[in-house]
Structure 1
Amino acid sequence: MAASVPSISRSRTAVAAVRKGTATSPFSLFSDPFPITTINSYYSNTAKVLNPDDALSRTQFLDFVKDRSKSKSDHLKLDDALGWFDRMVLTKPLPPVDVFNHLLGAVNKIKHHSTVAALYMRMKSTGIAPDIFTLSIILNCYCRLKRVDLGFAILGDIFKRGIEPDAVTYATIIDGLCKSGKLDAALELLKAMEKGTCRTNTLVYNTIIHGLTKKRLLKEAMDLFSEMVEKGFEADIVTYTTIINGLCKTGNVSAALHLFRKMESGKCRPDTYAYTTMIDGLCREGLLDEALGLFSEMVGNSISANVVTYTSLIQGFISMGRWEESTRLFNEMISNGISPNATTINLVMDALCKEGMVEKAHELFHLVIQRGEKLNIISYNILMDGYSLQGKMDIAMEVFKSMVADGIEHDVYSFNVFINGFCKSRRINEAIRLFQEMHRMGLIPNTVTYNTLLGGLLGAGSVRAALTLVNEMKASGLSPNRITFITLLDGLCKRNYIAEAINVFQVMVNSNFQPCIQIYSILIDGLCKDGNIEMAKKLFDGISDNGLVPDVITYNVMINGPCKEGLMEEANELLCKMEENGCVPDIFTFNAILRGFVKINEMQKAVEFLHMIDKRDVSPNVDTISTVVDLLSKEGQVPSLHASNISGQKLAKQLLLEHHAMRRFYDPMIELEKTDLRTLVNSQLMCSECLQ
């Protein structure tokens, strides 16, 4: 078993102890006892005492309690239940235990498990003897509270009464063990059941299979599934969907689909949940056509899709950029009378904003509100982020203010969205004011807040303020992360604060923070641009010592430095080393070297290098073409621009087609914007004429 649990032997001992009756106290089995004093305190603080001389007779009152306990539990109020319990223990003679059981069961259903435990302790202190049903309820409570130790103590009480627990009781204990992460102990208990008089059932197997899949132990879950079938237990819809869900979440969709078809061909027919689980798994793997096919099959089999089914499909199509299909599904869902939930709405709004259609997202936002449905804080944050990214900060601020009017409090993410928007719009003072407002509201900025504001300050040239902010961040108890250092070093290098950048890097290394390759690339680039090639080389050579491998960006930065200084031999050596280490050069690598040859007037080598680029089948960009035109200009092979009555576009074509090594560079040029190309070529040619 992959999940090692230290309490296996203890749980085995516990079962033996409770069977023998040697466990004198529930606290003798496990170390940290359940805080009974806490739950008694909770009860005493929340109990509502009713007058025992109420007009209702004893019999009427007890019948009333039983009826209310049997009704829908969501209609039950805790204060009422506590009041009834208090009256019951004051009633003379004491009511039968089954009335208490009804009330305890009802409180358990509304998930007030600690309260049930407190009521149970009060029952015992009042002299009311629990029966098997009481013990089953309290055992369930302890397990839901993840106090399986106390659950075993209750199991011991059941054994002492000479009662053999049924499969449901064992399933409850096993479920508690699984939820506590004690899977090995759960399997041991399953084996103990099989050796005893209590025969296990599908419910028990399902409970352990669910626990295994939650821990992503799919092999163990499949093995248990096979064992279950071999022993004659019939897998039900819960068994199949649990494993299918686990397989989908671990990316094993083909195995999940195989199991789905196996279920389909057997006695167990897929339901809405099974289809939805499988559709969601296919969508997450980008198998949208297969998901849509399964959806059609689902509808054809008269199985109703729900909001989760549609949301899975919509999310899948949005993630693959297939906006039309997602819109069609969204409209289909509404026309079929299925109301989108907050998750669906947020999904569509987020996609609209990312596509630049913030106004459409806002229309959807208003439409949902007009229908009387509540949106959550995520909806507001998405809308604000959409406007912020477009620089429409005033409209974003209106949404920000409307949150309070709609009864939704701002959170840290709301402020982060705004601070980011103001920083990107170069409105750094507003960003700082919002940062200060967070503190006034009692909201604690997180690492994202600090990193965002840090980037804004550096972008605005406020280097000293940025360094102060990093110190404030540390003082608040937050540690700078990778993004913090990348943002800080990038800002310092771009502002030519190289000494400060080196100091930050040294502090980072001294504090045992492992620099990533991106950090190395930023600092090497800064050193090269500052003309400190030697120090850049030392830093570059130290990359492998830290267990990192330079990527194409790192090599490009390192090659670009010597090229700018005209050190072409060094650049070529780096290119060779780059390829030897399995890093494939890109067009930026070649552009740097090509520019380097042109810069030192090594025209023949530049042309030879162009031949080499041609063989590599690398697509040129604007910078390549600019360098090519510059190369031709310096060779004196460009006709006078003023003497020629020809456009820059045609001239570029003529020049490039006349030179064999440069012919292939014309085609990509025509894909560029004509104005950009004309400006580029004309400026290069005019610069050439000025030099002649």
Structure 2
Amino acid sequence: MERISQSWSHTSGIISPPFSLFSSKAFQPKQPRIDFSCVKELNDAIGVFQKMKSMQPEPSVRMYNSLLSVTVKIEQYSFALYMFDEMLRMGVPVNVYTMNIAVNCCCLLKDIKSGFAVMGIFFKRGYEPDVATFTTLIKGLFLNHKVAEAGKLFNMLLRFRICEPNDVMILTMVDGLCKSGNVLPARDLVRRLERSRLRPNVKAYNALLDGLRKSGMVDDALQLLSAMIEKGITPNVVTYNSMIQGLCDLGRLEDVKVLVNDMSNSNISLNVVTFSILIDAYCKERKMKEAEDLLEIMRQRNVCPNVVTYTALMEGYCLRGEIDKARQVLDSMVDKRLKPNIVSYNCLLNGYCRKGRIDEAWLHFLEVPLKGLEHNTCTYNTMIDGLFSKDRFSEGWKLFKDMEARRVTPNIYTYNTLLDGLCRNGEIDEALSFVHTIEGKGVTPDRVTYGAIINGLCKNGKLDVARDLFNQLPSRGVLPNARIYNMIIGALCHEGSTEEAQCLLTEMQSHGCAPDEVTYNIMTRSFLKKKELSKAIPYLEVMHEKELSADVSTLSMLIDQMQGKTKDDVLLKLMKDVLPKDFVS
């Protein structure tokens, strides 16, 4: 059976097998009852199709359509198209429903041309496509990133009144535009439809609201929410969940409370998604008491927390450094017969690594496959970073090799972690070589990549090479940020080249990169180190103006310089002005 299933392939939409796969001679001409629920994989579909071809009397088109539908359900689109081709060859009286399934398969295979070709076949047979056919084609155009063509087809349907768009087609258009990054055209479309008799329903509004939210246009989404209510369109829990998520992402928890009250006033019950969003927001703010209170409210309302809910709690405890509590949450999930996912384990691994408990993290890393889960890129990144944080470089590299062997795709974060490890271990030449290696793999180094290399070069006494690379950054499409400027400025000051450091600081400002607290502390210390207090004071004054603080090293050097000198009230006040806010005087 496996050999048979490999003998066909889908190329251009209508399948032409190299030879007949199935022989009716092997089957007796009887018509058993077909149980389509038994079709769970490709070989099942092949077996049922063989059986149907041998049945007498011949199966109805309805039976064939049922098999096509279940084959699509198990995502065997190419074989569904092969069956469709065979049905045409055998003279099965296919109908519009058959056509829609075939068109859908072409679209799901991202073969939109064949989708239109199938429609052409039916035109020749005297069938007219219905609204479902055109909706499927529009969806296929979006799947193929043909946004303009989808819009043209929709407008053509309206202009020539070929068919009247229904709620599903309107939703497909709005959702497709939003997901392709065309949120404003989606809003324009909704406004245009509002003025016609084709009024978008709540699902279309939800798609637009979610698109606005994901584009950072939360206030626009809130205005749209008010407008849809005024038009008599009642929001549902999906509507509010999208808005609550958008506000939570911005940390606007007070506004969230208003929406939750609106839900209550409209008799819309919070569901597990709503509660999970709220719990996640409080956990990210490290407000575990509020998160735990919400969990208790869920229980009182018989809303069962799911893996997402508990994973949010785990992340909250990990952010507070309460790893053992996070582990207890994981165990409680298992006790409740919920299966933690890889995100849950990644959260726990990250928590252990942040606390420096690498060996415990490693044990949980090994536990993941035993739970029926697979390590993903994030899992490996977390563990490699944790090992490197404890200078266990050889173990980290060994894990990277294992990652590659298991075909888990590294990302730029993986490569940056490895580069940083090489640089911290003093292996600068190897780091530079590794950059060329990843470029050869088609990976584009980013600002973090170059920052790791420049930092490594500076700390290993190769300032000239670091400056050359720094000067090349704009031509490589990377603009240095304050952190990278600080690396070069710090290295210049370390070598006593304070004038060059001052020039670079001026250049930094002229390029629109604002110096930060670290920059001014570096410059202040460089002059204090040379016993040039008068040159350090202007930087302290700027820090005060910008409400920045001196760090412990700077303050310590200031105190040392003032020892044995006449009391200077102005300098003492300036010192007080740049003290960290949490510094106890």
Task: Please indicate the TM-score interval, normalised by the length of the shorter structure.
Answer: 0.7 to 0.9
1:499 equivalent in structure 2 = 426
Quickly say closer, same or farther: Cα 1:446–1:211, change in 2 above 3 A: closer
Contact (CA 8 Å) 2:352, 2:358: kept in 1 or not? yes
2:3 equivalent in structure 1 = none
1:257 equivalent in structure 2 = 187
Q: CA deviation at 1:561?
A: 0.4
Matched, 1:322 2:249: no
Quickly say closer, same or farther: Cα 1:8–1:318, change in 2 above 3 A: same
1:285 equivalent in structure 2 = 215
Q: CA deviation at 1:182?
A: 1.1
Contact (CA 8 Å) 1:632, 1:638: kept in 2 or not? no
Structure 1: distance between partners of 2:498 and 2:129? 77
Structure 2: distance between partners of 1:305 and 1:32? 55
Quickly say closer, same or farther: Cα 1:276–1:544, change in 2 above 3 A: closer
Q: What are the residue-to-residue correspondences of 1:80-99 with 2, within 5 Å? A: none
Contact (CA 8 Å) 1:143, 1:173: kept in 2 or not? no
Structure 1: distance between partners of 2:352 and 2:475? 41
Q: What are the residue-to-residue correspondences of 1:481-630 with 2, within 5 Å? A: 481-490=411-420, 497-500=424-427, 502-507=429-434, 509-510=436-437, 512=440, 515-537=445-467, 539-540=469-470, 548-572=478-502, 574-575=504-505, 582=511, 584-587=513-516, 588-589=518-519, 591-601=521-531, 619=546, 621-623=548-550
Which AA in structure 1 matches 2:236? N
Q: CA deviation at 1:568?
A: 2.9
Matched, 1:176 2:108: no
Which AA in structure 1 matches 2:85? A
Contact (CA 8 Å) 1:139, 1:155: kept in 2 or not? no
Matched, 1:343 2:273: yes
User: Residues 579-610 of structure 1: CA distance to partner in whole angstroms, max 9, x if unpaired?
Assistant: 78x46352344553454344335567667889
Which AA in structure 2 matches 1:133? R
1:207 equivalent in structure 2 = 136
Contact (CA 8 Å) 1:282, 1:288: kept in 2 or not? yes
Q: What are the residue-to-residue correspondences of 1:335-414 with 2, within 5 Å? A: 336-369=266-299, 371-414=301-344
Quickly say closer, same or farther: Cα 1:556–1:340, change in 2 above 3 A: same
Which AA in structure 2 matches 1:217? K
- Which ranges in structure 1 are unaligned for 5 or more consecutive residues? 1-6, 15-26, 38-43, 45-85, 642-650, 657-664, 680-692
Structure 2: distance between partners of 1:8 and 1:450? 36
Structure 1: distance between partners of 2:578 and 2:435? 48
Contact (CA 8 Å) 2:186, 2:208: kept in 1 or not? yes
Contact (CA 8 Å) 2:494, 2:526: kept in 1 or not? yes
Quickly say closer, same or farther: Cα 1:499–1:212, change in 2 above 3 A: same
Which AA in structure 2 matches 1:357? K
Quickly say closer, same or farther: Cα 1:372–1:124, change in 2 above 3 A: same
Matched, 1:222 2:154: no
Contact (CA 8 Å) 2:333, 2:339: kept in 1 or not? yes
Contact (CA 8 Å) 1:423, 1:456: kept in 2 or not? yes
2:77 equivalent in structure 1 = 146
Identity within the alignment, %: 29
User: Residues 111-165 of structure 1: CA distance to partner in whole angstroms, max 9, x if unpaired?
Assistant: 999757644532442422133434444455556631353244245247x47x6x5
Structure 2: distance between partners of 1:135 and 1:489? 57
Quickly say closer, same or farther: Cα 1:633–1:500, change in 2 above 3 A: closer
Which AA in structure 2 matches 1:150? Y
Structure 1: distance between partners of 2:277 and 2:124? 51
Give the structure with higher Rg (CA).
1
Structure 2: distance between partners of 1:653 and 1:575? 24
Matched residue SS, 2:77: coil
User: Residues 333-388 of structure 1: CA distance to partner in whole angstroms, max 9, x if unpaired?
Assistant: 35655444443332222111011122332333344345544433222222122112
Quickly say closer, same or farther: Cα 1:152–1:534, change in 2 above 3 A: same
Q: CA deviation at 1:629?
A: 11
Q: CA deviation at 1:461?
A: 4.9
Q: What are the residue-to-residue correspondences of 1:43-192 with 2, within 5 Å? A: 107=37, 118-141=47-70, 145-147=76-78, 148-157=80-89, 160=91, 166-191=95-120
The answer to which structure, 1 or 2, has the higher relative contact order (CA under 8 A, 6+ apart) is 1
Matched, 1:245 2:175: yes
- If the length of structure 2 is used for normalisation, what is the TM-score? 0.80
Contact (CA 8 Å) 1:114, 1:141: kept in 2 or not? no
Contact (CA 8 Å) 1:380, 1:399: kept in 2 or not? yes
User: Residues 485-525 of structure 1: CA distance to partner in whole angstroms, max 9, x if unpaired?
Assistant: 433454565xxx54345534534535646543323323432
Moved more, 128-137 or 218-227: 128-137
Q: CA deviation at 1:212?
A: 1.6
Which AA in structure 2 matches 1:149? L
Structure 2: distance between partners of 1:116 and 1:359? 53
Quickly say closer, same or farther: Cα 1:608–1:318, change in 2 above 3 A: closer
Contact (CA 8 Å) 1:521, 1:554: kept in 2 or not? yes
1:74 equivalent in structure 2 = none
Moved more, 319-328 or 601-610: 601-610
Structure 2: distance between partners of 1:259 and 1:385? 40
Contact (CA 8 Å) 2:550, 2:580: kept in 1 or not? no
Which AA in structure 1 matches 2:245? Q
- If the length of structure 1 is used for normalisation, what is the TM-score? 0.69
Matched residue SS, 1:499: coil
Structure 2: distance between partners of 1:229 and 1:351? 43
2:358 equivalent in structure 1 = 428
Contact (CA 8 Å) 2:237, 2:269: kept in 1 or not? yes
Structure 2: distance between partners of 1:296 and 1:407? 41
Q: CA deviation at 1:256?
A: 1.8
Quickly say closer, same or farther: Cα 1:598–1:520, change in 2 above 3 A: same
Structure 1: distance between partners of 2:198 and 2:389? 62
Contact (CA 8 Å) 2:482, 2:515: kept in 1 or not? yes
Q: CA deviation at 1:290?
A: 3.8
Contact (CA 8 Å) 2:551, 2:580: kept in 1 or not? no
Structure 2: distance between partners of 1:149 and 1:476? 34
Moved more, 569-578 or 342-351: 569-578
User: Residues 668-692 of structure 1: CA distance to partner in whole angstroms, max 9, x if unpaired?
Assistant: x38962x63x75xxxxxxxxxxxxx
Which AA in structure 2 matches 1:430? E
Quickly say closer, same or farther: Cα 1:379–1:537, change in 2 above 3 A: same
User: Residues 299-351 of structure 1: CA distance to partner in whole angstroms, max 9, x if unpaired?
Assistant: 45554432211211211221222212323433543565544444333222211
**Root mean square deviation of aligned Cα:** 4.4
Which AA in structure 1 matches 2:103? I
Structure 2: distance between partners of 1:284 and 1:9? 36
Q: CA deviation at 1:482?
A: 3.2
Contact (CA 8 Å) 1:142, 1:150: kept in 2 or not? no
Matched residue SS, 2:426: helix
Which AA in structure 2 matches 1:281? G
Contact (CA 8 Å) 1:140, 1:172: kept in 2 or not? yes
Structure 2: distance between partners of 1:389 and 1:524? 30
Structure 2: distance between partners of 1:557 and 1:155? 69
